[in-house]
A = this chain, B = another copy of it.
Amino acid sequence: MSRDVRICFVGDSLVAGLGDRQCLGWPGRLAARAIGAGRPVTYYNLGVRAQTSADIAARWESECEQRLPEGIDARVVFSFGINDTLLDEGKVRVPTERSLADLTAILRRAKARRWETMVVAPPPVIDDEQNGRIEKLDAHFTEICEAEDIPYVRIHQPLRHSEIWMREMSAGDGYHPGAAGYEEFAALIVPLWLLWLSEPGSGLPVVG
């Protein structure tokens, strides 16, 4: 008898898989990989274009609540930050302290709900100056997740050195890859992903 694992992927347009002609993005690829590996999961994609940590903080819980009833192995994967670091009239859309406060608040609420959580780093974009800001956010996110005891998947640096990823950044709109880029993104997460799924979630009733 397999566990009833349901997973919400919460984040921005990269989570939604914008630009992927196959309409899977990296979350759809991870879900399909889990099923292929004999670990059935219910897959919910809650990525929304243009959203910052503040936008996500305001909606994630009510949307996850609809999808994660009591008595299942309920999980949430978060990935955001790129839109926080976008410049708007010379200022970032969300100041760093606010991004960090949003992430901390989100992780604590998820823990209170007993939803098993994982965070995936914001990937690199075409613009090097913005990548500098994303890397700083990534370093802070790493610390927060360590302090909160939540797995954080550091995909920013490997993708910056990925020929496929950076080529797709140049070929596309500078922010979203195509199918091959999302495949590369997912492949970096797969080992940790399957390991994470193999452990029962904390919200499960203890059965003898």
Contact = CB atoms under 8 A, between A and B. Distances in A.
A32 B36 contact: no
A175 interface: no
Contact of A28 (B23, B50, B59): B23
Q: How large is the interface on A (under 10, 10 to 19, 20 to 34, 35 or more residues)?
A: 20 to 34
A172 B6 CA distance: 19
SS class of chain A's interface: helix, strand, loop or mixed?
A: mixed
Contacts of A62: 59, 62
A137 to B, nearest CB: 22
A48 interface: yes
B32 A21 contact: yes
Number of copies of this kind of chain in the complex: 2
Which interface residue of A6, A36, A49, A62 has the most chain B CB atoms within 10 A? A49
A103 interface: no
A21 B42 contact: no
B48 A59 contact: no
Contacts of A24: 23-24, 28
A55 B65 CA distance: 12
A53 to B, nearest CB: 14
A48 B67 contact: yes
Given A21-B35, A23-B35, A49 B59 contact: no
Contacts of A82: none
A193 interface: no
Nearest to A33: B23
Interface of A: 6, 16-18, 21-24, 28, 31-32, 35-36, 42-45, 48-51, 55, 59, 62-63, 66-67, 69
22 contacts: A6-B49, A16-B43, A16-B44, A18-B42, A21-B32, A22-B32, A23-B24, A23-B31, A23-B32, A23-B43, A24-B24, A28-B28, A44-B45, A44-B48, A48-B66, A48-B67, A49-B67, A50-B69, A55-B66, A59-B62, A59-B66, A63-B63
